[in-house]
Structure 1
Amino acid sequence: MADDRLPGFWGLPPKHRALYAAVAAAVIVGGILFGYYANFGLDQATSTDRARADKNAEKAVDREQPAFVSTITPPDYEQEGFDPIIFVLDRPLTAGEQATLTSLKGGQPKEVWAFMKSLGGRIVQYPPVLQKPLAGGHQSPRGIHAQTFNLNLNSDRDAGLTINSMTAVKDTCTAPTARTVVNIPPAGSNVRPGLLWDMPGGLADKPEGPYALDEGDDQGQLYFRHNAIDLGNGQSNMALRIQSLVTDQTCKWHINASYTDTTGQHDQRIPAGAATFTTEAVPSNPVQYFENVISEGWGCIGEMSQQGCTATKTLERVRPGKGN
């Protein structure tokens, strides 16, 4: 075995064999050490470049993810309360459905909603009553019909980003489609913190906002004039309550969010793709119009019987021209 690895080893005198073995061992150990330190030196010499390349690769992978993800959910009216509210339906109520509606107490909107929801009805809200004028000189929002949704923004990116602007963009606006309107009018409307877009008129009318909705000094001020939204880099998600207002046209729209990250300024659409939000207007002259008159019951105007409608004469006096 030794002659295979150390040629001529056994043919040497004992002293020479010891020297031969020592030299061979030194060569082997030296080769091992040389290889180790050569590899160590190369590792050290290229470590900065490799670290830079790894970091750039990580950044590239990080940027492949969406800047942020938006999740939209409707408000939970059963939990939050209804406040003043309007229910709309795209067809007239039958005689039996009218009898059921007018048997309900108008001051109990939860029960009215349970019935209208079962028929395919939708909710339209009244605008909030602000204590301060809107930025730009408006004393109050011009829109008279409101829709609300909750917008949650979250980013899984390691690098941070800042949303510093949001713009509402109308996609389409059309005449309202509802034929039945059930109104529980306001005696006052609570202001809930969030953002407000005022979008009166049709497609050519530019939305205004978003305005801050809160009870503080910023109420009515343009939200992004004093605020920004930071996401990514371990930041918590941002939950926003969005309210949009229209007048006489139902509008489909989206948000263009402008954000900044380490690569510069970018835009992202909310909701993603071709999806839109809808803010519904209430027709001024529906086929059927029901309104709860406080302390008197239901007033009913339009193509219907007067079964259960004890406040119609009062309603006709305070709302001339409503209905047919």
Structure 2
Amino acid sequence: MTESVSPDTAEPGGQPATPSDEVPNTRDEGAADGARDSGQALVVQEQPSYMDDVVSVIAPDAFDSNPRRRNRKLVIAALFMLGATFLGACGDLLLSAVFAKEQAEIASGAEDKVAREGDAFSFSVEKSSDFPEAAMMNRLLSRAEIAKLSQADRDALGTDGRHLLDYVVSLGGVAGYSSNAYAIMGKKNAAAFSEEWLIRLVSDRSVPLIITDITPVQVKCTPAKAVSLVTVAWEGGGSTEGVFFDLTHKHYSPQIANSGEEHFGDSFFRYKTLELGNGQSSIGLRVGVSGGSKDCAWKSFRVTYSDTTGTFHQDITNGSKGFFVHGVDQARIRQESVVTIKGVEECAISSPGVRNCKISKPASP
């Protein structure tokens, strides 16, 4: 049997124990030793590290008392943040690109709208006087005037027979052309007469436009007044480049007037196109018109063109005076001269439309 010892038991020597003389408490150490001897785990509570404090502030979801799990969470969080940042930047760039494209399209559309609201092209009109082939007058030439057309006076007037026409014009005549009118309108118009205009169209549009038709508008015709005609009949005489309008037809369709072309005399826009804008800044046209046996006036040439938005019209005017072409009616011609390489032939007109031309002394009008 073991006896218990009281804490107040005097130490050897008979002196009572004092607090400062208490022996060290070895109960905890003994418990630890006992836990180790019995195989039980000793849990030691560690103080949070500096990294734990940082993680708890900047990434609370990644906080973990286990360093390995904490590090994995930190890596995943960092990758997620990097991915979100990258996607956000890409989204911003994409939105900026889409916005810039929309703004460019809006600006381009606005420019096109402004361009379409104005005229599609500007134009210039000039009456052609290059290499005329005929001249007509509303009166008969005098004997002295006809004499100037004879071979004796040709040197004074110029070696080219067309210079003789300048003299007729100086007397009040009108110079024009006959070869294309004769070829296109047919041999029944033996005294066919046409006049020409040089028309240039200019456009600074960026939007392409295609001209699909040109036609005279507000055409009014009256019987021709010409009674005297002088023509130049040089071999290989001049030709008209461009388009030709025969106002004796109900529909004023432009015809090809390039005499060397395969489709000469056929519908112009059936075989050809005229384009302006989109780099093609100008077009030049030589436009011939004949009223046949009538004098004809019209207000303008109406141009029909199309672009990506539809079909439109614009008029080509000749200032406030409009356009006018003189006709030649064979039944009314009372005096005719033909200039050839041999000289000036005076034509004897036995009946309306019937004539016999030969080099002879001019008869008195």
Q: Is the 8 A contact 2:199 2:284 kept in 1?
A: yes
Q: Do the aligned partners of residues 145 and 130 (structure 1) sit closer, same or farther apart at CA in structure 2, a change above 3 Å counting?
A: closer
1:299 aligned residue: 346
**1: CA distance between counterparts of 2:177 and 2:343?**
23
Q: Is the 8 A contact 2:337 2:344 kept in 1?
A: no
Output the amino acid matched with 1:56.
G
1:164 aligned residue: 212
Q: Do the aligned partners of residues 181 and 223 (structure 1) sit closer, same or farther apart at CA in structure 2, a change above 3 Å counting?
A: closer
Helix, strand or coil at the partner of 1:267: strand
Deviations 1:255-275 (A, max 9, x none): 222111232111122227765
Match of 1:234 among 260, 273, 279: 279
Residue 292 of structure 1 deviates from its aligned partner by 4.0
Match of 2:161 among 94, 109, 115: 109
Identity %: 23
Deviations 1:95-119 (A, max 9, x none): 5434434453398423312322322
Question: 5 Å matches for 1:236-275?
Answer: 236-253=281-298, 254-271=300-317
Helix, strand or coil at the partner of 1:58: helix
**2: CA distance between counterparts of 1:129 and 1:179?**
19
* The structure with more radius of gyration: 2
Residue 223 of structure 1 deviates from its aligned partner by 1.8
Structure 2 unpaired stretches of 5+: 1-91, 350-357
**1: CA distance between counterparts of 2:119 and 2:188?**
34
1:223 aligned residue: 268
Q: Is the 8 A contact 1:160 1:233 kept in 2?
A: yes
2:174 is the counterpart of 1:122: yes
Deviations 1:2-61 (A, max 9, x none): xxxxxxxxxxxxxxxxxxxxxxxxxxxxxxxxxxxxxx99x9596566445433332232
Q: Do the aligned partners of residues 231 and 99 (structure 1) sit closer, same or farther apart at CA in structure 2, a change above 3 Å counting?
A: same
Q: Do the aligned partners of residues 63 and 139 (structure 1) sit closer, same or farther apart at CA in structure 2, a change above 3 Å counting?
A: same
2:202 is the counterpart of 1:154: yes
Q: Is the 8 A contact 1:195 1:242 kept in 2?
A: yes
Of residues 283-292 and 149-158 in structure 1, the stretch that sits farther from structure 2 once superposed is 283-292
- Compute the RMSD of aligned alpha carbons: 4.0
Q: Is the 8 A contact 2:181 2:194 kept in 1?
A: no
Q: Do the aligned partners of residues 47 and 165 (structure 1) sit closer, same or farther apart at CA in structure 2, a change above 3 Å counting?
A: same
**Ranges of 4+ aligned residues in structure 1 off by more than 6 Å:** 138-143
Helix, strand or coil at the partner of 1:281: coil
Q: Give the structure, 1 or 2, with the largest relative contact order (CA under 8 Å, sep 6 or more).
A: 1
Residue 280 of structure 1 deviates from its aligned partner by 1.6
Q: Do the aligned partners of residues 294 and 219 (structure 1) sit closer, same or farther apart at CA in structure 2, a change above 3 Å counting?
A: closer
2:114 is the counterpart of 1:61: yes
Match of 2:124 among 71, 74, 77: 71
Of residues 97-106 and 117-126 in structure 1, the stretch that sits farther from structure 2 once superposed is 97-106
**1: CA distance between counterparts of 2:336 and 2:321?**
32
**2: CA distance between counterparts of 1:281 and 1:148?**
13
2:173 is the counterpart of 1:87: no
How high is the TM-score relative to the length of structure 1?
0.63
2:38 aligned residue: none
How many pairs are equivalent?
A: 258
Output the amino acid matched with 2:180.
P
Q: Is the 8 A contact 2:139 2:228 kept in 1?
A: yes
Q: Do the aligned partners of residues 190 and 98 (structure 1) sit closer, same or farther apart at CA in structure 2, a change above 3 Å counting?
A: closer
Helix, strand or coil at the partner of 1:193: coil
How high is the TM-score relative to the length of structure 2?
0.57
Output the amino acid matched with 1:200.
T
Q: Is the 8 A contact 1:250 1:279 kept in 2?
A: yes
Q: Do the aligned partners of residues 142 and 125 (structure 1) sit closer, same or farther apart at CA in structure 2, a change above 3 Å counting?
A: same
Helix, strand or coil at the partner of 1:207: coil
